Amino acid sequence: MTTVAPKILAEIADWPDRLEAACRGTRFDPSLVRVLAECRSTQDVARFAGEGAVVTTGRQSSGRGRLGRAWIDDQGAGIAMSLAVPMQNPATLSLAAGIAALEVIRAAVPPAVRPMLGMKFPNDVVEWASGAKIAGILVEASDGVAVIGIGINLHRRPWPPGIHAMAVAELAPDTPLRRIDLLEALPSRISEALDLQPTEIADRFSAAHAPTGCQVEVESGDRRITGTLESLLPLEHLEIVDSDGVRCRMPVESSRILSWQPSSR
């Protein structure tokens, strides 16, 4: 562990009280709120704390994303929160958490900026025109508990080579953005999203899906297809029309969008 900057310690001083208050009336337990000055991963702490836990940190040194990728949040510029819920369909949990994260980010920025934000299957909040990643979701399940991890790039920072990311502050440079304001909104938003029926979760995700209508490259098992993403049913399939006009349906459980060419709405 490195020494946590005094600025971060001062920033997080009131987080426990505010997050405990934010969890009241939700599916999360105020007594299981954990605010750490620094940790390797909030996912591990939430899993240990158990169902109902909400964990965040001033600085996360070794965050992770899907498929073993790293989540870059080592400068105290972003948000890392993990929330433990009873086991259910991980795909539905991921979609619901993505919707919640998108709504929280949209609420934090001016109305003119909100249409610039969208989803990318299966688990990213992106800037619509460039495709830059603004937030990501990770669901890890074991022993009857699912831990939902949410990472949000909030403030500007230099990105390592090969990382196509953007901070919320880059879209709303004149808007005061505090990490705690977004953090305390997440438990209730996630609770509300998890109360929705799976079909409504899927419909909301599809409506916000930025790559729909764009050129994409999709991998499904040992197949790769390039074409126009005609539609997405995020609990069923992606439908793509290739350059020969052939329509292909690719199951969501084995598919991922490798690349896409963003376009303005």
Q: What are the domain boundaries of the chain? A: 6-207, 215-260
CATH of domain 215-260: 2.30.30
pLDDT the model gives residue 190 = 97
**Over the stretch 229-240, which tens digit does the pLDDT of each residue have?**
999 999 999 999
**Residue 109, SS3 per DSSP:** coil
Cα atoms in the 13 Å half-sphere on the side-chain side of 189: 21
Q: Within the chain, which residues score under 70 in pLDDT?
A: 1-3, 62-75, 264-265
> Positive or negative, the Cα torsion across 83, 84, 90, 92?
negative
pLDDT at 73: 55
Helix H or strand E segment including 153: strand 145-153
Q: How far apart are CA 60 and CA 72, in angstroms?
A: 9
Q: How far is it, in rounded angstroms, from Cα 189 to Cα 17?
A: 18
For residue 167, give both structure tokens.
């901070």
Check residue 68 and give its pLDDT: 46
What's the pLDDT score for residue 204?
97
Q: Please report the pLDDT score of residue 252 as a whole number.
A: 94
For 30, the token pair is 């105020």
Return all residues near 120 (Cβ < 8 A) that are at least 6 apart.
126, 131, 133, 209, 210, 211, 257, 260
Q: State phi, psi for 107 to the nearest 5 degrees.
A: -70, -20
Tell me the CATH number for domain 6-207. 3.30.930.10
pLDDT of residue 5: 77
Task: Show the DSSP H helices in the chain as ranges.
Answer: 6-11, 15-23, 42-49, 90-108, 168-171, 179-183, 186-194, 198-207
Question: What's the pLDDT score for residue 128?
Answer: 92
Q: What is the pLDDT of residue 2?
A: 56
pLDDT of residue 221: 87
Query: How far is it, in rounded angstroms, from Cα 171 to Cα 85?
Result: 32
SS3 content of the chain, % helix, strand, coil (to 5): 30, 35, 35
pLDDT at residue 69 in the model: 52
